[in-house]
Amino acid sequence: MENLIVLTLMIVFLAFLFDFINGFHDTANTIATSVSTRALRPRAAIILASTMNFLGAVTFTGVAQTISQGIIDPFTIEDEATGSIIVMSALIAAIIWNLITWILGIPSSSSHAIVGSLAGAGISALGFGALNYSGFSEIFEALVFSPIAAITLGFIIMNVFIFLFRNFSLVKTNQRFRLFQVLTAAMQSFAHGTNDAQKSMGIITMALVASNYVSTIEIPMWVRITCGLSMAVGTSIGGWRIIRTVGSKIMKIKPISGAAADLSSATIIFGFTFLHFPVSTTHVITSSILGVGAADRVKGVNWGMAINIVLTWFITLPITAVLSAVLYQILRWIL
């Protein structure tokens, strides 16, 4: 029992660490456009993002409930220690991958990382029968469909903006859209909190269920508040490597295109949050920028950088799955 308590405390700590890293890794995406267009100064953007992320994190729980049993159902794990080690392995693998991609300045997906890690650790521990295939397929479909929806909506919104403001002064239009970007950046940061922060909430709840500390997948309030705070603190540290990639290396972002990208990505993230599906905010935001860029000027998009980002998306799931599977065997032997 004492070992189980220690394992659970370690998992809670690792979940907070994952949220903290997620804060400066993924949240940089939510303010990249507003910083690159100078709609917000970096310090103000970070304060805004931190606050809105926390508020979003404590407002919703549907995505957390999906994560807690959509990939592996903790109620089916008979051995308490096995369930705890599965969750621990998944968190460590996801953290390692997030740090690697952050160092390289690549806007990789924390969502893909945690989903792949949970699947890999679960299979390593219990075999392929451990996967909740219906839930996993729905989550996978959401991860695949959301960037397609984002690039489409970004393309549509940008075309609408171009049509509506075609006869307006360019200088005045940019000034007005810089003000509008403050609102869209806040919306996007809030949306990020409603989806991304809930992944660690789901992980903690999954560990509590597997350890028989709770009997339902209802997310405790202390989990919601502490996960929200962890992400907010991580956001306050900033993620300038990711901001430079998203805010300048994909395309030259103007206030009107930045607002269009923010609006489209926030809409997509909110939509999937209400459906209780986790999505990659990184995928959604980057795809929105690509859609906006294609509508504004196709040749103005750095498609080479876009391809590198997409390749990172594709390799995240298998790499984190293998890494967590190996980590499970190591931790099982040690613990």
Question: How many Å apart are CA 85 and CA 77, to the nearest integer?
Answer: 11
Number of H helices, E strands in the chain: 14, 0
pTM assigned to the model: 0.86
Task: Find all residues with CB under 8 Å of 124, minimum gap 6, and list them.
Answer: 89, 324, 325, 326, 328, 329
At residue 72, the 3 state secondary structure works out as strand
Query: Amino acid identity, residue 228?
Result: G
- Residue 146 · residue 268 · CB < 8 Å: yes
CB atoms within 10 A of CB 133: 10
Backbone angles phi, psi at 73, to 5 degrees: -85, 110
- Tally the residues of the chain: 335
- Residue 152 · residue 271 · CB < 8 Å: no
pLDDT digit string (tens) for the chain, length 335 residues:
567 888 889 999 999 999 888 776 666 667 777 777 777 777 787 788 888 888 998 888 889 989 988 999 888 888 888 889 999 999 999 999 988 887 776 667 788 899 999 999 999 999 998 889 888 899 989 988 998 899 999 999 999 998 998 888 777 787 888 889 889 889 988 998 898 888 889 999 998 988 888 888 888 899 999 998 888 888 777 555 555 544 444 446 788 888 898 899 999 999 999 999 999 887 888 888 888 888 877 666 666 666 766 777 778 999 999 999 999 999 998 87
Please report which residue ranges of 26-79 form alpha helices under DSSP H.
Answer: 27-36, 42-59, 62-70
At residue 107, the 3 state secondary structure works out as coil
Backbone angles phi, psi at 215, to 5 degrees: -110, 0
Question: How many Å apart are CA 171 and CA 232, to the nearest integer?
Answer: 34
Per the listing, tokens 């395309």 go with 251
| Residue 38: per-residue pLDDT | 77
| Residue 76: per-residue pLDDT | 83
| Residue 154: per-residue pLDDT | 93
| Residue 2: per-residue pLDDT | 60
| Residue 25: per-residue pLDDT | 65
| Residue 143: per-residue pLDDT | 87
